[in-house]
A and B are shown apart, each in its own frame.
Chain A
Amino acid sequence: MTTLADNRITTLKIVSFALVALWLIIAAFPFLWTLWGSFKVQADFFSKANWQNALSGTNTIRETGSAFTGQGYYGAWVQEEFWRAALNTCIVVFFTVVISLTFGTLGGYALARSGKRYAFWLLMAALVFRAMPHITLVSGYLLPFFEWNVWGILPTTIIVLVAINQPFTLWMLHSFFLNIPKDMDESAMVDGCTRFQAFRHVIIPVMWPGVITTGLFSFLLAYNDFAVTAMLLSTQNETIIPAINSFLGSTQVEGNVMFAVAAVVSATAPLFVLILFFQRQIVSGLTAGAVKG
């Protein structure tokens, strides 16, 4: 719809463009700045003298002979063994996503196909569970886990993250399955399939877009979690987010803040790649519950 009125430049239009431009700068600048700064030495990134040092790298040139240095990354990944944490994160995130999706597709399908009252109450309970601050649940886990001697290991954390993920996964997959026409699996059942066969042969082949989108969000939930991983994992089994937090305590004392900066940039990189490839799915997932509900 292009009309004359639309093409005219109004004050409102200028204001809204300015707002968008301002927002984009505010959104992107911190990341660019930290990425740039992670290749400098501390005296530049946290410059007492002049913030322009971080741009030109005056002290970095003096200390290392070049304007860019990988010292922070070397310190974090090699010296402080950040790779261990990264490995743990891979394990935790992979299993959490796979198990969450398996449980979630089965449950979400059942909820979408059952019009019974109890299905509604289950969804409501899931909504309340979704709102629980994770740390309140953690305070319920600690004592039993210590008693049963399962505290501090990866499988416990995976199971807990799966459970915490479930309410969200259920809601999202439930709304995706509602969009798959009932007739498809019902006609398969008329042809003699059991409910599970109908699910296996008719629903599974067409559900992948929904599952991928939900998987992205389970990934984010598991990857970004701090409350659970910080409280339930021992120091050897730490994932990257609690590892960054413990970096802060230990490295600040030794003046190695740049290790933490490098670790932070390393932790952001996978998310950046994720958005790069899955922007469309993420946006559709964000709005899935909203636009249809």
Chain B
Amino acid sequence: MKNRTFFWFILPTLSAMLLFIALPIASVFVQSLHIEHEQVLVVSESCGPFGCRETTSVDTEATEALREERPLGRFNGLSTYTNRAHLAFAEVGEAWRTTESFGDFFDRIYNLRFYRALIFTLTYTAVVTPLVIALGLAIAIGVNNLPRMIKGPAIFVSLLPFLVTPLVGSLILFWMVDSDGILGATLQWLTGDPTLSLKASATLTWIMLMVYGIWHTLPFSFITFYAGLQTVPEDTLEAAMIDGATRWQRVRHVVVPHLMPLMAFVTLMLLMDNFRVFEPIISFQAQAHATSLSIIIYNDLRESGNPLYGSAAATSMMTIAGVVVLLTPVLIRTWRDFSRKAH
């Protein structure tokens, strides 16, 4: 295709992506270097019979005017990145020097806002992704063995949790595990502890969020693997059977290697989606025990009356850096494939 024609065809989509994805990223970067204006203070002296006193007050008008004039705020360099709410270099150094054991150090780090969110986001991604892949493969193999008549309905039912709006899906589960809901009440009855509440304990909250994550994304890996299973070469399977391979060995040595490229694709998609875990934490009202990177950005932007754009932008930049790190292996591999094809 000629470069000129290519340009006209790609123009609408490219301008949409440049204006609303690339440019905002640049704007986020600029914002992250700025911080909200300090309030303008005026010092006035009032003199009475007992001498003069200095009083300091906020000049609301001047503050407003300053905000109007320079909405970005004042320049702050990289300080937002290193302050207490983000990378917290000073606090981490302090914790490193003063704590005795690694456990103590970890506790101190965990109390810092950014690291708390980062630790949850990474744990969530690291737990949910492999579990979803393993369970998805197991269910795909199971469904593949079902009689044809049941396959369709089985896939229909499985699609529901995946396609349902994340906020809505997590609400549905949340109401069930609520201490008055059916699962919550059953758990109380099983453990014999009438005060048991999933919301009250950090560990249970984490488990609950991850169970939701698995419930929500399992269908994706299941259906992709199921489609892949339809293309497994019959001949190889038969040959393996003649060689005396058991069912398990056939799965292990024929089916799984055949699905390897799919596995890479599913892993990539799951990593991307799990890394931005957001809605379930809102639905489960779990912010006391679990926050993710997306959640702390959301909270900064929602800060009533005075959104913390600088702070949100700094967290966003670090999240974007995280996404790029996560994607690097994939990008390198695709680049190699492309160069090989081109030459």
Contacts and interface: CB of A to CB of B under 8 A. Distances in A.
Contacts of A289: 265
Interface stretch (B54-62, B77-85, B134-142): B134-142
A230 B222 CA distance: 31
A149 interface: no
Nearest to A113: B1
A241 B161 contact: no
Given A107-B12, A135-B298, A140-B28, A286 B215 contact: no
Chain A interface mostly helix, strand, loop or mixed?
helix
A54 B182 contact: yes
Chain B interface mostly helix, strand, loop or mixed?
helix
Contacts of B300: 139
Interface string A23-34: 110111011011
A196 B7 CA distance: 12
Interface in B114-156: 135, 138-139, 141-143, 145-146, 152, 154-156
Interface string A269-285: 00110111001001100
A20 B139 contact: yes
A166 B223 CA distance: 24
B316 A120 contact: no
Interface in A243-292: 244-245, 248, 257, 260-261, 264, 267-268, 271-272, 274-276, 279, 282-283, 286-287, 289-291
A184 interface: no
Given A103-B13, A128-B327, A142-B301, A267 B168 contact: yes
18 contacts: A1-B238, A31-B160, A34-B176, A51-B185, A110-B6, A134-B276, A135-B276, A136-B320, A138-B297, A140-B23, A143-B27, A170-B13, A195-B9, A223-B165, A244-B168, A268-B164, A279-B152, A287-B228
Interface of B: 1-3, 5-6, 8-10, 12-14, 16-17, 19-28, 31, 71-72, 135, 138-139, 141-143, 145-146, 152, 154-161, 163-168, 171-173, 175-176, 178, 180-182, 185-186, 215, 218-220, 222-224, 227-228, 231, 234, 237-238, 241, 247-248, 261-262, 265-266, 272, 275-276, 278-279, 282, 293-294, 297-298, 300-301, 307, 309, 312-313, 316, 319-320, 323-324, 326-327, 330-331, 334-335, 338, 342
A103 B143 CA distance: 38
A245 B218 contact: no
A163 B20 contact: yes
Chain A, interface residues (CB within 8 Å), range: 35 or more
Nearest to B308: A139
Contacts of A196: 5, 8
Contacts of A223: 165
Contacts of B301: 135, 138-139, 142, 231
B309 A143 contact: yes
A138 B278 CA distance: 14
A116 B175 CA distance: 52
Given A54-B182, A107-B13, A140-B27, A16 B298 contact: no
A3 B241 CA distance: 11
Contact of B28 (A19, A139, A244): A139
Which 3 A/B pairs are nearest by Cβ-Cβ distance? Answer: A140-B24, A163-B20, A107-B13
Given A103-B13, A140-B316, A131 B71 contact: no
A245 B6 contact: no
A271 B228 contact: no
Given A139-B31, A166-B13, A279-B152, 16 more contacts: A5-B241, A16-B141, A23-B222, A124-B334, A128-B324, A135-B276, A136-B319, A136-B320, A140-B25, A140-B26, A144-B27, A147-B71, A195-B5, A224-B163, A244-B168, A283-B227
Contacts of A167: 17, 21
B12 to A, nearest CB: 4
Most chain B beta-carbon neighbours within 10 Å: one of A23, A113, A244: A23
A12 interface: yes
Contacts of B161: 27, 30
Nearest to A291: B227
B245 to A, nearest CB: 11
Interface of A: 1, 3, 5, 10, 12-13, 16-17, 19-20, 23-24, 26-28, 30-31, 33-34, 37, 45-48, 51, 54, 102-104, 106-107, 109-111, 113-114, 116-117, 119-120, 122, 124-144, 146-147, 159-160, 162-164, 166-167, 169-170, 195-196, 199, 220, 223-224, 226-227, 231, 241, 244-245, 248, 257, 260-261, 264, 267-268, 271-272, 274-276, 279, 282-283, 286-287, 289-291, 293
Contact of A164 (B9, B20, B152, B241): B20
A130 B279 contact: no
B16 A241 contact: no
A27 B158 contact: yes
Nearest to B29: A140
Contacts of A138: 297, 301
A289 B220 CA distance: 13
A27 B17 CA distance: 36
A214 B298 CA distance: 29
A146 B172 CA distance: 34
